[in-house]
Chains A and B, each alone.
Chain A
Amino acid sequence: MRNHWNNCITHFDDDVGTFIESFFGEEHRRCLLVGAAGFDPRSQRIAKMLSDVLGPRLSGIFIREERGQRDAELLGRADDNAAALKQLVPDCEILYVDVFGDDGAAIGGPRIAAKLGAYSIDGGITDIVLDMSALSIGIGFPAAKMLLSDCENVGRSFHLFIVSNPELDDSIVSEPADRPMPVKGFSGSEALDGLLDPARIWIPQLAKGRKAALTKIGLSVGECYKICPVLPFPARDPRRADGLISEYENELVNEWQVDPRDLVYVSERNPLDCYRTLSTLKQRYYKTVNGTFEPKIVLSPIGSKVMAAGALMAAIEHNLTVQYLETVRYEFNAPDNSTDKTEDMMVHVLLSGPAYGDYDALLRTEEI
């Protein structure tokens, strides 16, 4: 029971920098940064901010997701990022993780779990930071769950950082694999036959250009009592949700037959909003079907990383299934340095640590 998650310490945009200076400025802090070293330009921002404050007190694990990428340009970008990260965090290790097995099956999850499991974290580390900005869901989610659990066991602080940019996301094309499956470590109770018949709710996050992937995932989830698509509002572009509704018209009306009242609106920039909304949904649903059906909630947070972070928290806290489709290839149409370039948004969430003290005991009767 992580009551403090309803009220996590979060910081946005400029406040993130202020927080880093203040918090990591404390001399006793030694931080391990886990992040991605791929082609995504957002890979370096957090590393830089932390490195500026922590200097030698910062160590790193940078993950390179290997998909057999033959695109020279993307490889070049990844190499550049990795080199830059090494400069920023000299005390670091690059972890190469195969996303696909020799038979083409998606095994990135088990692989990252094995590698992180084998990595022994220095006892002097006081804080672990997971930068999810450029990690794919199949790798980032299992990493988050493992690191969180480690930190909770020894009372270390665990932070999530995300640099997000919905407009940049739209310029990354993902070619999906064939077979949807649960993210490693997030099977929930999905494949367990129970005594009662299952009643399933699927909660897909609508994302631009991912219709084919979401439809496939939906088919793999199977029969659902209800489908509740997630849309971004408030959002930087007030029409973003409308655009997604238009793009998914066929799915909403014919394929999934969604009741308009079942649309879920969630903040584009605050992961806690998604977390709270999903938690409420889960509680209400379980209450409704209690004793009659086996409730099962399946999340598919394949779009914005910020909203996905909220889904991650909900999945961990409530043991929900996360169903996704691995990406075989990326194509990245890098935006040129025109004036139209949109700004990154930043968010920090402190998921666990001594900062929460004995939260439950100190809590007022209701959440603050």
Chain B
Amino acid sequence: MASGKPGAVQDHQESTAEYGWLQLMSSIKYDGYADFRAGARFFESLATWLRQFKQQDRKTAYAFIRHRLVYISAAEMHRVIENFVPEAVTPFLRKAAANEAGIKPYEVWGRKEGVEAFNRVLRRSLFIGLSDGSRIDVLRRANAGRLSQEQIVPMMNIGWEKWDELGKELRKEQGEDARFDNVYLIDDFTASGTTFIRQVDGEWKGKLKKFNDMICDARKRSGFPIAESYRLHIHHYISTHQARIALSDRVANASANWAEKSFADVDISEGCLLPSSLKLNQHDDAAMLRLCEEYYDDQLYLRLKKHCDEAGQSNMKFGYANCAIPLVLEHNTPNNSLSILWAETSGNLGHAMEPLFRRRDRHG
């Protein structure tokens, strides 16, 4: 009976099974990674990536990919973008409309005053994309006919002309008193909440601060279309559990302590919440974490020193802000992910790191 199989045959069995899985996942997900070009796809990248490890470490590295990697494909991302309005926006605006019309939230669709209130509230909402990742193009298409062009802005740096135009269009449709009561800030991903909002040596930084300052400045001019006590909604398509908590805390802190705060209320939502178990930990992932320690080039830290120092970290072994997450997004790998996944270095201060899903730096 063939029970105790000789090593070679067992190896062969496993490789047949793994090969099948690799082919399937490559065709469904990994080959779509933006950085791959034809001829240099996942399979090849994996082979190169594994080769950098010593023989006895390759199993750990492969197991990590097989069982821990979270890769969010374009198809999955699209779903999250498409769900934004129906799931995060409409329910809130329905409640707001009910409030305005003096009816119950579940009566809004059935009564004339409810529908009218809703339409009003919807039109008086402004949607602002904070980066390319906000995929405002996809958002627009998914909401064609539902949202007006004049309430969606693809970037945060809104000049006065644009503010003016937005205001004019709004007042034309909704009357002279019309202002945007709800402002949605949309971004694709947050792992630590840091990019969005952080405090460094007592000084507040990040996209929210920039936005707030911009509003405070712009509203000095007359005709500024955002209401005095507008409600701010912060939405990330993908967020980690860690980020959610950080955002909640820091935003609450900022709300309480900012000298000049443009918004009256804030809430935070996300399309897809990644669980806290996503982060690698010593209990379950000791072997892989050891690999992160060993196969590391400190050059990476030097490259990003300023940001790392701000985040209070002294090396980049486990990704920015030591997030230690195994996440890859189809258009780019976030630097919060384990650097062993995305870093490419020459080995000046350690191991020459070879990436699996190479990260295209904007600022590292």
A and B directly contacting (CB within 8 A): yes
Residues on A facing B (Cβ under 8 Å) = 4, 7, 9-10, 19, 22-23, 233-234, 236-239, 241-242, 245-246, 249, 252-253, 260-261, 263, 265-267, 270, 272-273, 276, 350, 354-359, 362-368
A10 touching B272, Cβ below 8 Å = no
Q: Which residues of B contact A9 (CB under 8 A)?
A: 94, 105-106, 109
Please give me the residue from chain B that is nearest to A237 by CB atom.
B275
User: Quick one: given A249-B21, A267-B83, A273-B83, are A233 and B76 in contact (CB under 8 Å)?
Assistant: yes
Q: In the bound complex, how far is the Cα of B80 from the Cα of A270, in angstroms?
A: 12
B121 to chain A, nearest CB (A): 11
Give Cα A234 to B118, complex, Å.
27
| A–B pairs, 29, beta carbons within 8 Å | A7-B109, A9-B94, A9-B106, A19-B106, A233-B76, A234-B273, A238-B70, A238-B72, A238-B272, A238-B274, A238-B278, A241-B76, A245-B28, A246-B24, A249-B24, A253-B23, A253-B24, A260-B27, A266-B79, A273-B79, A355-B106, A356-B109, A357-B109, A359-B109, A359-B110, A362-B110, A362-B112, A366-B145, A366-B146
**8 Å CB contact of B79 from A234, A249, A354:** A234
**B75 interface residue per 8 A CB criterion:** yes
Give the Cβ gap from A278 to chain B, nearest Cβ, in Å.
14
Instruction: Report, as a range, how many residues of chain B touch the other chain.
Output: 35 or more
Residue numbers in B under 8 Å from A266 (CB-CB): 79
Instruction: Give the docked Cα–Cα distance between A273 and B278 (Å).
Output: 25
Q: Return chain A residues, CB-CB under 8 Å to B271.
A: 234
Complex Cα gap A359–B106 (Å): 13
Determine if B86 is an interface residue (Cβ-Cβ < 8 Å): yes
Q: Contact at A263–B28, with CB atoms within 8 Å?
A: yes
**Which of B25, B76, B83 interacts with A270 by CB under 8 Å?**
B83
A233-B79, A356-B109 are contacts. A7–B90 as well, Cβ < 8 Å? yes
The CA-CA distance from A344 to B104 in the complex, in Å, is: 27
Enumerate chain A residues within 8 angstroms of B274, measured Cβ to Cβ: 238
Residues of A within 8 A of B110 (CB): 354-359, 362
Q: Are B72 and A368 in contact (CB under 8 A)?
A: no
A124 to B109, CA, bound (A): 24
- The answer to whether B149 has its CB under 8 Å from any CB of chain A is no
Q: What is the distance, in angstroms, from A187's C-beta to the closest C-beta of chain B?
A: 30
A266 to B104, CA, bound (A): 30
Please tell me if B107 contacts chain A, counting CB pairs below 8 Å: yes
Q: A263 to B115, alpha carbons, bound, how many Å?
A: 36
Contacts of B104 in A (CB 8 A): 22-23
B294 within 8 A of A: no
- Judge if B91 is at the interface, Cβ distance under 8 Å: yes
Q: Is B59 an interface residue (CB 8 A)?
A: no
B185 interface residue per 8 A CB criterion: no
B:87-107 near A, CB below 8 Å: 87, 90-91, 94, 104-107
Q: Identify the 4 closest CB pairs spanning chains A and B, nearest first.
A: A357-B110, A366-B145, A234-B272, A260-B28
Task: Judge whether A365 and B145 touch: CB under 8 Å.
Answer: yes
CA distance A358 to B278 in the complex (A): 46
A368 touches B79 (CB 8 A): no
Instruction: Find chain A residues with CB under 8 A from B174 CB.
Output: none
CA distance A246 to B145 in the complex (A): 39
Is B106's CB under 8 angstroms from A252's CB?
no
Instruction: Report whether B118 and A368 are in contact in the complex, using a CB–CB cutoff of 8 Å.
Output: yes
Q: Are A236 and B106 in contact (CB under 8 A)?
A: no
Q: Chain B residues near A272: list those with CB within 8 A.
A: 86
How far does the alpha carbon of A85 sit from the alpha carbon of B39 in the complex, in Å? 62
Asked if B128 CB lies within 8 Å of chain A CBs, one says no
- Nearest neighbor of A8 in chain B, beta-carbon distance: B109
Interface hits, B262-299 → A, CB 8 Å? 271-275, 278
A252 touching B146, Cβ below 8 Å: no
Say which residue of A245, A253, A355, A364 sits within 8 Å of B119 (CB atoms): A364
B136 contacts A by Cβ under 8 Å: no
Is B20 on the interface with A (CB-CB < 8 A)? yes
A355 — which chain B residues lie within 8 A by C-beta?
Answer: 106-107, 109-110
Asked if residues B146 and A367 are in contact (CB atoms below 8 Å), the reply is yes
Instruction: Look across to chain A and name the residue whose beta carbon is closest to the beta carbon of B104.
Output: A22
CB closest residue in chain B, given A246:
B21
Known: A234-B271, A249-B20, A253-B20. Contact between A276 and B106, CB under 8 A?
A: no
Most buried by B among A239, A260, A276: A260
Could you tell me which residues of chain B, from 47 to 79, have a CB within 8 Å of some CB in chain A?
Answer: 70-72, 75-76, 79
Q: Are B80 and A234 in contact (CB under 8 A)?
A: yes
Task: Give B239-275 as 1s and 0s: 1 = Cβ < 8 Å from A's Cβ atoms.
Answer: 0000000000000000000000000000000011111
B70, A368: Cβ atoms under 8 Å?
no
A-chain residues with CB within 8 Å of residue B91 when the two chains form the complex: 10
CA distance A359 to B145 in the complex (A): 18
Q: B340 contacts which chain A residues (CB < 8 A)?
A: none
What is the CA–CA distance of A366 and B146 in the complex, to the nearest angstrom?
7
Closest chain A residue to B93 by CB distance? A368
**B205 interface residue per 8 A CB criterion:** no
Complex alpha-carbon distance, A249 and B107, angstroms: 47
